[in-house]
């Protein structure tokens, strides 16, 4: 019985990592579609949503079945409850990548981004993909130290988001209200994607240690 239970916990972890990998790929492709005004690629991102939703439903079913049938305690209970919460974060990450793809598709064949903000958005996309990749890694390893390092990349994303809004507020902005709205929304999509990736990492820290990240002492600093 215990071996079957452990196997089901591993299946849940594998499913979460697969979901995170899909979100990472979707963000990478959505950013490329946005920067290149690539309609087929944007449509490809949108077409992956059923697979993402299928994985999310399967992970949730696995987690609830473990709760209902196994009465887990201690670390196992943390893993299952954290898994349910992580599914919600990953679903949101997938949805945010899809929102970016929709902006690219809606503006096709034109580019959604004015030239002066293209570099900023490209860097936000790079950071978002790197955070998703790191989140996927910690979902596999349950390494609280690695999970704790995601905050620095998220700070860089916040700085880029703030700078992007500064560009939009500049009097020299000459691309109209529609473009400004799109850029503002895109900045928010990237910023929230990063926040959810960091939240996944925070939940892994709790899963591994029983403490939220701000309660964890980094013994390497002592």
CA distance 22 to 106: 23
| Terminal-to-terminal C-alpha distance of the chain | 42
Buried b (16+ CB within 10 A) or exposed e, 116-141: ebeebbebbbbbbbbbbbbbbbbbee
Q: What is the pLDDT of residue 220?
A: 39
Q: What is the pLDDT of residue 3?
A: 63
CA distance 204 to 1: 26
**CA nearest 49: which of 59, 38, 57, 39?**
57
CA distance 202 to 151: 9
**CA nearest 89: which of 61, 52, 34?**
52
Buried b (16+ CB within 10 A) or exposed e, 72-106: beeebebbbbbbbbbbebbbbbbbbbbbbbbbbbe
Return phi, psi of residue 86, to 5°: -65, -35
CA distance 80 to 63: 6
CA distance 12 to 4: 13
Tokens of 217: 């002492």
Tell me, which fold does domain 2-215 have in CATH?
Methane Monooxygenase Hydroxylase; Chain G, domain 1 (1.20.58)
Q: List the pLDDT tens digit at each of the 222 positions of the chain.
A: 556 778 888 899 999 999 999 999 999 999 999 999 999 999 999 999 999 999 999 999 999 988 887 777 777 888 888 999 999 999 999 999 999 999 999 999 999 999 889 999 999 999 999 999 999 999 999 898 888 888 888 899 999 999 999 999 888 889 999 999 999 999 999 999 999 999 999 999 888 887 766 644 343 333
**Residue 205 · residue 213 · CB < 8 Å:** yes
Give the Cβ contact number of residue 172 at 10 Å.
6
Q: List, as one string, the DSSP characters of 84-103.
A: HHHHHHHHHHHHHHHHHHHH
Could you check whether the bond before residue 109 is cis, i.e. omega within 30 degrees of 0? yes
């Amino acid at each position: 019985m215990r071996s079957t239970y452990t196997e089901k916990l591993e299946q849940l972890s594998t499913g979460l990592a697969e979901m995170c990998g899909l979100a990472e790929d979707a963000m990478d492709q959505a950013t490329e579609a946005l920067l290149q005004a690539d309609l087929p690629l944007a449509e490809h991102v949108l077409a992956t949503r059923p697979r993402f939703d299928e994985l999310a439903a399967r992970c949730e079913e696995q987690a609830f079945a473990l709760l209902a049938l196994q009465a887990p305690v201690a670390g196992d209970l943390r893993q299952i409850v954290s898994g349910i919460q992580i599914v919600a974060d990953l679903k949101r990450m997938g949805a945010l990548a899809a929102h970016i793809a929709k902006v690219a598709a809606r503006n096709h064949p034109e580019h959604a981004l004015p030239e002066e903000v293209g570099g900023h958005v490209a860097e936000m996309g790079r950071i978002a993909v790197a955070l998703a990749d790191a989140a996927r890694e910690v979902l596999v390893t349950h390494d609280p130290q690695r999970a704790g390092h995601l905050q620095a990349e998220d700070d860089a994303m916040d700085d880029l988001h703030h700078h992007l809004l500064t560009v939009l507020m500049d009097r020299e902005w000459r691309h109209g209200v529609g473009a400004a709205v799109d850029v503002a929304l895109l900045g928010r999509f990237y910023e929230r994607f990063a926040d959810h990736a960091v939240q996944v990492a925070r939940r892994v820290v709790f899963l591994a240690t029983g403490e939220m990240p701000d309660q964890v002492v980094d013994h390497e600093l002592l």
